[in-house]
Amino acid sequence: MDNKLVSVIIPAYNHEKYIQQTIKSIINQSYKTIELIIIDDGSKDSTFEKIKAMEAECKNRFTRFEYTAQKNMGTCITLNRLLSKCNGEYIYLIASDDIAKPNAIEKEVCFLEKNPEYGLCVGDNELIDSEGEICFFDKNNNLIYKSNKNTYNTFGALLQKRNKFKFTDSKFGTYKSLYGGNYIPNGYIIRKEALNGIVFKKEAPLEDYYLMLQISKKYKMKYLDEILFSYRQHSNNTVSNHQKMIQMEKKTIEYESTILENIDEENVFDEVKEVKKNGVLYKSQGIPFIFEIKSYLKFTKKLKVIKLFNIKISEIEKERF
């Protein structure tokens, strides 16, 4: 199995404190045949110098090691450039402040090798803080450090609670379920052929969500119920960032609706056609609604009315706009 090349890509930006830990986690992978490609997207700190300092070690460990710096172009352009450089049959994406567990790539590649109908495989995420300490979420999603007082042991546990289904179910990674919002944990590996034709666009600013929607149209996804990744939660996360995420999700789903209108229905799962034809359960700011893809503007007007008059959800769900 180790003879299948895996391309690990890291879009790096202003993570001088963490980038070497991220690279070390890839160096320490039990899986051997890896190429590592990093683009520093115009960092204003010493991120690029930290990468350069590990050049000898990386060249000794990896089949190929390439790193470069560019002026700040944003995540979409950076990801497109990274993908264009990949030679592997599998792609592993990791942020420049996160950490992969030593057996992560081996476990995920092993599953995809045995299950060709799957395009993506991912495990659960433990949470770490800005100092690398393991932490947990309480019921209000605040970080705490005592496991006996936590509500969610892992990021995956929180995501499953929010989405009201077990990720070990067949529903995981389906297009219809993802259309209501992204819930795929971090640290996923993707079959390269599942990325054919996918180009990141500024019109879809929530890149990971956009990516999941595209893959789920043609491939299944698998959740491995074990911790394979350390997802860093920074203490400076703010309400303004949360509001920004909401706006990015809105723009991304708006762009996805335009894709659906012109999609080639011969090459996608039946449920994608169903979503296009009949509408789908969509979540906006925590409230579910049913709406038709081609009537999005009518949906947004209805949303204002719902907020104004506090209409019951059960009444809205009976409608097809």
Write the CATH number for 81: 3.90.550.10
* Interacting residues of 149 by C-beta distance below 8 A, sequence separation 6+: 138
> What's CA 38's distance to the chain center, in Å?
18
Residue 291's domain comprises: 279-316
* Final residue belonging to a domain, choices 199, 231, 249: 249
pLDDT in tens, 96-134: 999 999 999 999 999 999 999 999 999 999 999 999 999
Longest dimension (CA), the chain: 64
Give me the residues of the chain with pLDDT under 70, please: 1, 149-150, 235-240, 279-321
Query: How many angstroms separate the CA atoms of 167 and 1, rounded?
Result: 26
pLDDT at 285: 40
Domain count, the chain: 2
pLDDT in tens, 229-254: 999 998 655 444 778 888 999 999 99
161 with 305, same domain?
Answer: no
Query: How many angstroms separate the CA atoms of 286 and 132, rounded?
Result: 30
* Interacting residues of 65 by C-beta distance below 8 A, sequence separation 6+: 35, 36, 37, 55, 58, 59
pLDDT at 280: 53
pLDDT at 48: 98
pLDDT at 144: 87
136 with 11, same domain?
Answer: yes
298 with 223, same domain?
Answer: no
Determine the number of helices (DSSP H) and then strands (DSSP E) in the chain: 12, 12
Say if 222 falls within a structural domain. yes
pLDDT at 291: 45
221 with 116, same domain?
Answer: yes
Angle between helices 239-261 and 207-216 (to 10 degrees): 30
Query: How many angstroms separate the CA atoms of 315 and 310, rounded?
Result: 11
